[in-house]
Amino acid sequence: MSALRANHPDGVRVLCDRFSGELLKVAARILGPDAGVRALATETLRWSLRHLDELTDPRLLRLWLLSRLVVLSRRRIRMRPLLFWQTGRRSESGSCGVCCSDQLVSTYRLLDRIDIDQRIAFCLLVLHSTSLAETAAVLGVSCDLVKRKLAAAHARFRHLARSRLPSLMREHISHAALGVEIAKEQDHRIGCSEVSEFDLVRSDTRSRWSSLLHTKRLAWLLALALLVVGVVIAVAVSVSYFRAVQYQVNGKYPVPAPSVRLGHWVVAPQQRSETVSFSDGSLIAMAPGARIRVVSTNYRGGTSILESGSINLSVVNTGRPEYQVVAGPFVLQLSKGKAELSWDPENELLGITVHQGNLVIAGCQFHNGNSVIAGMTLEARCRTQESAER
């Protein structure tokens, strides 16, 4: 222990020579044919070198190491569903190239269906032949609790073997005899796979680099995922934002109504009014006898031609809406609000009443565009260059 606390190479060598074999065997007993057996034993030794100050009694070093190995094994079993994609759950051949027997694979398939704590107690007592007192010390529980867990594991294992793999438990083979056969096979498989001092130091360095690379890889993957999500959101928003508004006659979006092609005239009968509804909520209410034509639409609004009659234009405030109405030589633009517009083609008389918002009129004498605010009424003629405002 003094050599270990002083970080002397001889202390590391003695630690590996004395405990690596048993740690490999116990890890194999608990995990079964798992590719992480050797890594688990190595991680236990590396952990012990970093936490030697926590060991108060050097005589408990072996049980202390086994207790840590049990903690790592329990974590490994619980993480198996997440580690399956990375390393594979089972290792069908050991480090010596010996394939697992059907008996060993079948045994651990049944153990996978047993509670983890009961499984560990079963593996330590039956497969590794650890004493009851040592098992209780390693698990940190009482001997009575270990006995109950072992009894439950026995009953569960026997029930599973009879219902799923009756050939595994032959009548003349007990659990103890099965444990001896499993332990003998596992000891043969790991006989040429001991953890050396060089492997321990190398794996410690590799683990630090692997941890760093793993952290960087996760950071890059997270950044890439955020970038992809951002691009998808940007594309979705752009598509929805820059999509041209749709319109229909005598209906309110999105309720279906008879469709009218872009550029076709919409004529309100003399007996009733018509309504042109846009997908952003804006609408044109046509008085009886009015004639309009929607000539173009974009993501901000649309342009309509008022041939004759009176309309009420209502523009909702969605982003930066922009609706234009062309009446003879005049171009009227309403960004938001409500306005009543009329056009008399015979007299070339334009009438404007703004109820809400701000309307801009251009054309003829309004070269630079004039604003008509809420509450104002304007009548304009282009032919005589006359206008009246009230």
Q: Residue 237: phi, psi to the nearest 5? A: -65, -40
Which of 160, 195, 230 is the last residue before a domain boundary?
195
Are 11 and 52 members of one domain?
yes
Residue 243 CA to residue 236 CA, distance in Å, equals 11
Are 297 and 345 members of one domain?
yes
Are 342 and 217 members of one domain?
no
Range of the domain at 220: 208-242
pLDDT on residue 158:
86
Residue with tokens 């439950």: 152
Q: Is residue 172 part of a domain?
A: yes
Are 159 and 296 members of one domain?
no
174: left (phi over 0), alpha (psi -120 to 50) or beta: beta
H-assigned helices in the chain: 2-5, 9-31, 37-50, 61-78, 80-87, 102-111, 116-122, 132-139, 143-164, 175-189, 197-241
Q: Is residue 305 part of a domain?
A: yes
Residue 92 CA to residue 232 CA, distance in Å, equals 43
Q: To the nearest whole number, what is the mean pLDDT of the chain?
A: 79
Are 70 and 219 members of one domain?
no
Q: Is residue 200 part of a domain?
A: no
Q: Is residue 373 part of a domain?
A: yes
Contacts 24+ apart (CB under 8 A), 110-116: 110/157, 110/160, 110/161, 110/164, 110/165, 110/168, 111/32, 111/157, 113/156, 113/160, 114/153, 114/156, 114/157, 114/160, 115/152, 115/153, 115/156, 116/74, 116/77, 116/78
Each residue of 316-345: pLDDT tens digit?
876 677 899 999 899 999 888 899 999 999
Are 103 and 218 members of one domain?
no
Which of 195, 230, 256 is the last residue before a domain boundary?
195
Least confident of 98-112, 119-133, 141-155: 98-112
Q: Is residue 144 part of a domain?
A: yes
The residue that leads in pLDDT, 93 or 228, is: 228
Q: Which of 51-65, 85-99, 186-200 is most confident? A: 51-65
User: CA–CA distance from 20 to each of 25, 33, 35, 66, 69 (Å)?
Assistant: 9, 18, 17, 11, 11
Least confident of 91-100, 116-125, 285-294: 91-100
The residue that leads in pLDDT, 224 or 195, is: 224
The residue that leads in pLDDT, 169 or 360, is: 360
- What is the domain-level CATH number for residue 373? 2.60.120.1440
Percent of the chain with pLDDT over 90: 27
Each residue of 264-304: pLDDT tens digit?
888 888 888 888 888 888 889 999 999 998 888 887 788 99
Are 165 and 222 members of one domain?
no
Q: Is residue 202 part of a domain?
A: no
Are 95 and 68 members of one domain?
yes
Are 151 and 129 members of one domain?
yes
Are 180 and 265 members of one domain?
no
Q: Exposed, middle or buried: residue 6 (CB in 10 Å: 0-12, 13-18, 19+)?
A: exposed
Kind and range of the H or E run holding 275: strand 274-278
Q: How many domains does the chain have?
A: 3
Contact 111, 32 (CB under 8 A): yes
The residue that leads in pLDDT, 122 or 301, is: 122
The answer on pLDDT for 172 being more than 60 is: no
pLDDT on residue 385:
47
Are 316 and 238 members of one domain?
no
Q: Is residue 201 part of a domain?
A: no
Are 85 and 158 members of one domain?
yes
Q: Which of 134-138, 249-253, 277-281, 300-304 is most confident? A: 134-138
Q: Is residue 97 part of a domain?
A: yes
pTM equals 0.49
